[in-house]
Amino acid sequence: MMQGCENPQIDPQPRRAPRVSYRMAEVAATLAEPGTLALFGFGAGTPASSDPRYLQVALETFDAPAPLELWQVDTPVSSGSDGALRWSAGGGWLFVSIELDEREHGGPIATARLAYEQLHRFVATREAQHVLRVWNYLGAINHGNGDAERYKHFCDGRASGMGDFFAEGFPAATAIGHHGDPHRLQVYLLACDQPGQRVENPRQVSAWRYPRQYGRTPPSFARAMALPAQDVLAISGTAAVVGHASAHQDDLDAQLEETLTNLEALLASAGMAAGFDTRSPLKAYVRHGADAARVRDFLQTRLPGVPALLLHGDICRSELLVEIDGWRYA
């Protein structure tokens, strides 16, 4: 006779990742589609919307007209706001964004602290408490010298505000400087009710182990995150860093090659096949507008057919000219 409980617990199926794509479409029509979890427009020229699922990202694009970035799930989506936070949820997935003005909150350190405190408090009330991916966009990221650089201030504030937010391990993340209002901080995240698997790059020192020369507080992120069903690798901002040092100063072509080598190393570390395809959208953040055409040519030559959105953004180290992040679907 078989022993056991009458209603045994059955492990849930791993959550299939949201579908991420770039699309030339109208904001209102795309938000009206079933399963729209989040939608992003880029630059000041994109339409505004009060829908909590929509974020007008402060980064300008080199693509004209600019596509929207769309996240979709296969279930109904609910959404709302909580103070400065805007959120949506569906199918075990959670999108949350916050936008703050540093002038209203005591400067860059205090504002980053507040943003992460509020995100932490909100996510703690939800079933989807595994934060898998975070994006941070701040103005004038490289202004200031030494420990006074604004990016280092952001890292100080983020660490102070996160508390035990990432007690299970850091998420994948990107931090880029925008060219809009220098006091504007935008942070948004993707969380799930199931954990992912962190992936590091054997060619690089883990970011949270960087030596003191990079600031009082090392950056707090994993190099990539395999989402719960192992169907997508969410790739953090990746640049020409080997070990912990920036490589190929002032050489855009060499930085692009090194960045691609690091991306391939991440795929190998995650146990994925080499290369990217038409279902794997990437973003390239380009420091100097004059370099955009060369970056586009490089991506079209080395990654033909891969959707790539080029954005005007400053990298967290002033000597780095380009950074790439994105999604690699299995």
The pLDDT mean for the chain works out to: 95
Model confidence band, residue 25 (pLDDT cutoffs 50, 70, 90): very high
The Cα 321–Cα 253 span in angstroms is 10
Per DSSP bridges, beta strands 36-42 and 54-57 are parallel
CB burial of residue 61 (10 Å; 0-12, 13-18, 19+): buried
Model confidence band, residue 8 (pLDDT cutoffs 50, 70, 90): very low
Amino acid at site 164: D
pLDDT of residue 137: 98
Model confidence band, residue 11 (pLDDT cutoffs 50, 70, 90): low
Kindly report whether the global pTM for this prediction surpasses the value 0.85.
Answer: yes
pLDDT of residue 7: 45
pLDDT, one tens digit per residue, over 256-291 is 999 999 999 999 999 999 999 999 999 999 999 999
pLDDT, one tens digit per residue, over 81-106 is 999 999 999 999 999 999 999 999 99
Q: Is the CB of residue 321 less than 8 Å from the CB of residue 286?
A: yes
pLDDT, one tens digit per residue, over 197-230 is 999 999 999 999 999 999 999 999 999 999 999 9
- Is pLDDT at 71 greater than 50 in this prediction? yes
The Cα 231–Cα 13 span in angstroms is 13
Residue 137 token pair: 């966009």
Mean pLDDT of 137-157: 97
Amino acid at site 253: D
Which residues are paired to 89 by β-bridges? Answer: 78, 94
Q: Could you list the active site residues?
A: 323
pLDDT of residue 4: 40
Buried b (16+ CB within 10 A) or exposed e, 196-216: bbbbbbebbbbbeebeeebbe
Residue 84 token pair: 């400065």
Q: Is the CB of residue 157 less than 8 Å from the CB of residue 105?
A: no
pLDDT of residue 3: 37
For residue 239, give the nearest of 223, 213, 262, 221 by alpha carbon.
Answer: 262
pLDDT, one tens digit per residue, over 113-144 is 999 999 999 999 999 999 999 999 999 999 99
Q: Is the dihedral of CA 60, 63, 65, 71 positive or negative?
A: negative
pLDDT of residue 65: 87
